[in-house]
Each structure stands twice: as structure tokens, then as C-alpha cells.
Chain A
Amino acid sequence: MSEVRLPELGEEIEKAVVSFWYFKVGDRVSEDDDLVELTTDKATFNVPAEKNGMLKEIRAKEGSEVKIGEILAVIE
């Protein structure tokens, strides 16, 4: 099982907003697939899957605000 967390995005950035998920719960994902797009201050960035597996859980809904280090999803 691996937890996908919001990475450090630089000084002064404490949070980001989930714009959308490329996958839904139950989908199979491969290492390096973009999982989710987030937005902060006119920059969008993608968080990729770090391993192959099944997207077991999405913890941060589209439109919600997440903090750096917060768990976004769980891959099994």
C-alpha cells in the first residue's frame, strides 16, 4: 500500500486546490501516470503515481483545499 501525499511546492506555499482526478476509485494505475492535478496561484501541477496498483481511496475531493504533506490518495 502506498500513500500519495501533496509534495513540497516551494517556500510560502502551504496549500493547493484539487482541480481534478485523472482516475476514479477502483481504476488500475501505473507508475508515473498522472493521478491528480492541483492548482495553486495560477500554476497547475500533476502528482504522479509512484507505483503500479489499484486506486483504493481518494481522500481529497475535487475543489477541496489540501495542505502540503496531506494524504491525497491510497494506492494498493
Chain B
Amino acid sequence: MKQIECIGVARVKDLGLIDYSAAYAIQQETVKSVIEGGPHTLLFSEHPPVFTLGRLATEANFLLSKAEMTKNKIDIVRIDRGGEVTFHGPGQLVIYPILRLTDFGRDLKTYLKKLEDVGIELLRCFGVTAGHMPKQRGVWAGQNKIISIGVGVRKWVSFHGLAVNVNTDLKFFSMIKPCGLDVRMTSLSQLTGKEIRLADVKEEAVKCFGRVFDLNFL
């Protein structure tokens, strides 16, 4: 019998609720293993409230004082990447695809577009129509952003990825200018009017990645 041809096998690791920094360390270890020939990997995680600041982030990205941040028990992590401020928190599914991009044409634009396609398909599974936004990254429902996308690449292996707002408390976004822009954020629960389980979103996300990237998950 002829085997179904597939670009590659992939695995999923669910990190559950985990500190941003701990997940970042796991991402870096996984990048190393994929560079050395390990399988494509999707890491799923959810983080306690944290603002991550890229090298370009300034105080102007914060609309709240440091004292208020501390009072709200929000962590601030400065990370080695470009870009500005991003928020992660409970109810947001953060997907870190650690993929060997040489299998997908070594093309950053194509990769970013494919990630957006995964996001659009994923939202469609939950009855939400979303799309690309000209000159912007991420996935948008009308004028509101629902999935943020940021990608890092080392030796053509990807890290960082997608932050899908499922049941995210959107008040956190009003404390910052996400990505330095005046953008209004939304979530799956806001758009559908119901709570959606992260477990269900993870299950659909694996299928969407399989289809868009032609991957066979173990």
C-alpha cells in the first residue's frame, strides 16, 4: 500500500498553565532539538498575566503606571526580540510552532501568511469569520484583532507564534498599546457570546496546522 506523502511528522506538547519565562526556555530547547533534526513541534501554553517587552518597547506603550501594574499582579518581562509590547494571560491560547522552515520553502512571508491561515481556519471552526488585514499582521474580525502573531527564526527554525484570544479578559489590553498600535482587541468568547474551552481550541488547532502545513501529527 502506498503511504500518504506528507511533508513531515510532528508532535504536540501541551505545557498547560506555565510562566512565560519557563515556556520561553522550553521553546529554546525545542528549537535546538529541531535544528538537530527532531520532529516539528507545536507547543501549547497559557500564561499568567504578563506583558512582554521587545527591544523597541518604551514606557509610552504603557497606559498604566508601574505601581498600578504591581497592584494588578501583572508581570513584566523584557525579552530579546524586536517589537514592542504584547500581553499574555489566562484564557489566551499561546501556540508556539517550532517548525523547520526549510520544509516550507524558506520564506518568512509565506510562513507568516500560513500562520494567519491557520488562525482563520481555527476561528471558522467556532463559527467566527475572520481574515487578513492589509499591511498588518495577525488575524482580524472586522476592525478588531483576535489573534496576534509574532515570529522568531533561528537557523530557519521558527519560534514564538500565535496568541489566540479565547476567553481572555480584554481589560488588560486597555493598559497597553498592543504592538505600539491603537488597536482594539477582541476574543472568541466576546464574538460568540459563550465560554469556549481551551482544550477544544487546541484540538481544532492541531487539525488546522495539519491541513495548512501538510503535517502528520503523532
Contacts and interface: CB of A to CB of B under 8 A. Distances in A.
B137 A44 contact: no
A45 B108 contact: yes
Interface in B122-154: 137, 149-154
Contacts of B154: 34, 45-46, 48
B105 interface: yes
Contacts of B111: 10, 43
Interface residues of A, number: 21
A44 B109 contact: no
Contacts of B107: 9-11, 13
Nearest to B107: A10
Interface stretch (B79-87, B90-98, B186-194, B207-215): B79-87
A19 B134 CA distance: 23
A12 B109 CA distance: 8
A8 B106 contact: yes
B155 interface: yes
Interface centre among A13, A38, A43, A48 (most CB of B within 10 A): A43
A37 to B, nearest CB: 6
Interface of A: 8-13, 17, 19-20, 34, 37-46, 48
5 contacts: A11-B109, A11-B110, A44-B81, A44-B151, A44-B152
Given A41-B108, A43-B111, 13 more contacts: A8-B106, A10-B110, A13-B108, A13-B109, A17-B82, A19-B55, A39-B82, A41-B137, A42-B150, A44-B153, A45-B108, A45-B153, A48-B154
List the 3 closest A-B pairs by CB distance, nearest first. A10-B107, A19-B82, A45-B153
